[in-house]
Structures are given as C-alpha cells and as structure tokens.
Amino acid sequence: MNTNACLRSLKRTVMQISVVLAGLPALAQAGIVELEERDYRDLSAGTAMAVEDFEAYPAGPMTAPILLSNGLVYSSAAPWLTGSPGFVSLTGESPISAPRTFMVVEPGVNLLAMDLFVQEADEYQVEVVTVGGDRLTISARRGDKFESFFGVRITNDSLQSVTFTALGGSSGPGDSGAGIGNYAFHAVAVGTLADAPRDQDSGKGRSRGRDR
C-alpha cells in the first residue's frame, strides 16, 4: 500500500471514530450550588425533607459519631446539645476550632439546609463534597455573611459530606479555641430533588468558593 492510500485509510478511520463519538451522550457534570434561604424554600416546596430538630436528645455532651434521625452522621471533637424543649441546637466544646462534619449515608441525597448560629465577626470555612469527589470550598467567610442559614443543592451527583471549621477572628483560633466564639446548628434538613434538564433548571443559588 502506498503512502497516499495509507493516508486515505487513516482519514476514513478518524472520520468513523468521530461519528461514533458524536453519537455518545455527553457526560453530565456535577454541580454544587450554594442556596440562599428563599431559594431553598422554593426548591423544597412539595419535597419530603427529613429534618433533625434535636428534640429527641437530652441536653448535654454527646459521644461522636452521632447517627441523626434524618440519616446523617455527625462527627466533631466534643458535640454538645443545648437549649430547651421547642428549640434545641447542636454545638460543641473545646477545641471550637475542630472541624464539624455532617456525613450522608443515605443514597441519592442532593439537597441540604440548616439554620446557623455563628459569630458575626469570626470567619469560617465550609467544604462540600459529592459522592463523585467534586468539592466546593468556601474559605474565610465572615459569620454575618451566612445570614443565619446554609443550604446546598447537588446536580448530576449526590452529597457525601459538609464540613464546617471555625477559623477565628482577629486573634486567631489558638490551640484550644482561643479567639473563637462558639457556633451551633439547628433544623438540619436533607432531601432528594429530581434533576431538571439544564434548560429547565431554575438557576437559583450560586456556586461560590472564596467569599468576596
């Protein structure tokens, strides 16, 4: 076979491969979208959400990890429940700077929301991880920027974990939480939304990394 014939044969092969690849469905890319509270309310309307209000637990120290009633597993250095019947929140003891993680064990969860009680002037890091390994890291966000709420929606994947870490204020976290005020979680909700086609997605919320 001469050179020209070889080139023509190679060209036909490349074209055939291109046709086959064009016919394959595009791989869906996972999306991690942080939600504002009003957007979460809209998205979750009509969806069965499993909410942990911590009312079933006695006030005081707990041993981690804790299996919550909504299927999440909570882990931190020294979990503590505080409050009174009608309003109980999950917080922690020293070191306050230790990470606090909600792990998802139920398959298919792609929506999470919770009320946050944080120090306005302290800074926090939040890391969201999907089952497929995608991550969203929110770094050094002041407490007042959360507006007492955190919510996240995952598309084309499901949620694996959400971790909060207090970074402290101007004096820094220190070895035992010095310079950090405590913070707490309440009404932690999870659920599963059907992924809408891209052209029908609400587009609400925002994908964010380091806060402005």
Please indicate, yes or no, if residue 146 is contained in any of the structural domains: yes
Domain that residue 40 falls in:
28-200
The CATH number of whichever domain residue 169 belongs to comes to: 2.60.120
Please indicate, yes or no, if residue 209 is contained in any of the structural domains: no
Question: For residue range 29-45, what is the model confidence (pLDDT) as tens digits?
Answer: 679 999 999 999 999 99
Per-residue pLDDT at 18 exceeds 80:
no
CA distance 124 to 119: 9
Number of separate domains in the chain: 1
Question: For residue range 73-106, what is the model confidence (pLDDT) as tens digits?
Answer: 999 999 999 998 889 999 998 888 999 999 999 9
Please indicate, yes or no, if residue 68 is contained in any of the structural domains: yes
Per DSSP (E only), the strands in the chain are: 31-35, 50-52, 60-61, 66-67, 72-75, 79-84, 87-92, 100-104, 111-117, 123-130, 135-142, 149-155, 159-168, 184-191
